[in-house]
Amino acid sequence: MLKLESMLNPSTKMCDVLHYNVHLLSVLKRLGIKLGFADKTIAQVCAEYNIDKSFFIEIVQFFISKEKFIPNNLVEFSISTIIQYLSKTHSYYLSDKLPHIESLVDHLIVVNPDRQDIVLVKKFFASYHEEFYNHMMREEKQLFPYILSLESLPTEEQDKKAFVKNIKKNRIEKYVHDNVDEKLNDLKNILIKYLPPLRNEDLIYSILHELFDLERDVKDHSLIEDKILFPRVKAMEEKLLS
């Protein structure tokens, strides 16, 4: 059987992408692609959802190869295309992934009403949720608008001075990733190492599965920013300031 990355092209059936790696379901979900696409190809499904098929293929390649991925082709896409994908990923976390984990924790409280330690787990998760939300909002409201502003160089001299001043004030180096992974790791350890046995332990396994999956996905998200977006922005800054 050929490796997917060696046969991935616009004519590849979308169902084959998922059969190769089930984790790619999350990519489809954040892009709004619904299941039930029968034997349609990547090109056909992307056309149906108004998605750049070449960008979709590159994102799939990235998720398959991770650290070995060489972003030669992704750098050809516009900054706005990359940011649009990252923003959709934020929406996926906030409207899908985190609420689902929260609902599992709530159910754990329902089936273990006499356990106050589960209430503490919920509070810990709520604290992580808030921290993660603030991190994403910082990117949505400050980082992404700043990056997109770099694509439009003003023509008036007065505006150019303000433009350069804005770049010096908001250099990409100031947007170092917040360490949200540490709190997530603490939460996993509470469930694995310190929480006494509970009724319906399958719920614990489900929560842990979701937490590990979230951690993997967030690391992938950060890799796209660190390997593709930030170097592009840094090069744009240097060019504009010179």
pLDDT tens, residue by residue, 189-204:
999 998 888 878 899 9
Taking a C-beta distance cutoff of 8 angstroms, is the pair 61, 8 a contact? yes
Helix 230-241 vs helix 157-169: angle between axes, to the nearest 10 degrees?
140
Helix orientation angle between 230-241 and 79-92, rounded to the nearest 10 degrees: 140
**Statement: residue 101 has pLDDT above 60:** yes
More confident residue, 177 or 10: 10
Between 66 and 83, where is the model more confident?
83
- Which residue would you say has higher pLDDT here, 235 or 67? 235
Amino acid type, 181? D
Residue reference for tokens 């990923």: 89
Residue 12: the pLDDT is 93
Would the pLDDT of 161 be above 60?
Answer: yes
Secondary structure class of 37 (helix, strand, coil): coil
pLDDT of 89 > 80? The answer is yes
Q: Do 166 and 149 form a contact (C-beta atoms < 8 A)? A: yes
Rounded to two decimals, what is the model's pTM? 0.84
Tell me the domain boundaries of the chain: 4-68, 78-241
Say if residue 34's pLDDT is above 60.
yes
